[in-house]
Amino acid sequence: MKILITGVAGFIGFHLARRLITLGYQIIGIDNLNNYYDIKLKKSRLALLIELGLKFHKVDISKKKSLDKFLKNSDFDIIIHLAAQAGVRYSIENPDVYIESNIFGFFNILEACRQNNIKHFIYASSSSVYGGNLDYPFDETQTTDKPQNLYAASKKSNEIMSFSYSQLYKIPSTGLRFFTVYGPWGRPDMAYFKFVKNIFNNMPIQIYGHGKMYRDFTYIDDVIEGIIKILQKGPPKIKTNNIYDQDDILNANLAPWEIFNIGNNKVVSIEEFINVIEKAIGIKVTRNYINKQMGDMYLTSANIDKIQSHVGYRPQTSINEGIPKFVKWFKNYYKIS
């Protein structure tokens, strides 16, 4: 089975590719290696993957001609689409990048699926699509049409676009709503990464929302297990051929399309999260409390009943286990004694 992973030099892409290669899958990866964060980190991830046998190509998914040229002689069975411009706060300052990568780029990948008869299209969505919904834990049946920032809007657009292509062209598509993924080799723009970095540099940390914000922190290994279980289960199927099926007024059952939450199923306050970081490092940090930033969600909380029922997904790693693993990696990578 030949699998294309987009965004392979990214945090989740790196971990997924590494695991799939060790399981014997033939993995080809693409990435544009942009400078949104430290490109040295991306190249370090990539070097490890190439050493394992990854076939890598530098491709920007937002450039359709470049993508089409790469795909011209390909014969992928599955595309796992993880390439995207990430970051809620960055979307406030640089909205154009999100349209280019997350909308145009996603469209180009959908077209690639259509033209290359892809057997299963798996793509990254986000818990941010739930917006300001306080009816938690969030489940996949809830309304997600009020995103609080452009990043969330782009991910919601991806879900709608994939449904359209799935229904029109019967492309089996699975969207995965990730909930605050953290762990070794993570993204430097993420709060936990910044907290750890500041502590080791004897600098105070800024805590948005005065510490009264809550997240469903999900360790990277659990996320990867969830993706692999979805992959191995196989593509979704059309549930009915009856166009007058009243179970779903949008006739979603006519499309081989699914959405799943991938979370830890446990909500943790930012204050508690920082306490665990301090304990793992053994250093207390000065905390500067500031107002919630525009576009930030107050809370994320995953109902994982659907993916548990579908593939037996069960997260194994608490923050008390996951944070020390990240701190150990951080010290080793940045050579901190």
Other beta carbons within 10 angstroms of residue 202's beta carbon come to 9
Six-digit token pair at 267? Answer: 């909500």
129's CB contacts (< 8 A; 6+ apart) are 144, 147, 152, 155, 156, 159, 177
Name the DSSP letter for residue 99.
I
165 part of the active site: no
* Set 123, 130, 151, 192: catalytic member: 151
Say if CB 289 and CB 207 are below 8 A apart.
Answer: yes
* 90-120 b/e (C-beta count within 10 Å ≥ 16 → b): bbeeebebbbbbbbebbbbbbebbeebebeb
Distance CA 326, CA 193 (A): 9
Other beta carbons within 10 angstroms of residue 242's beta carbon come to 11
End-to-end, the C-alpha distance of the chain in Å comes to: 43
Q: Catalytic positions, please?
A: 151
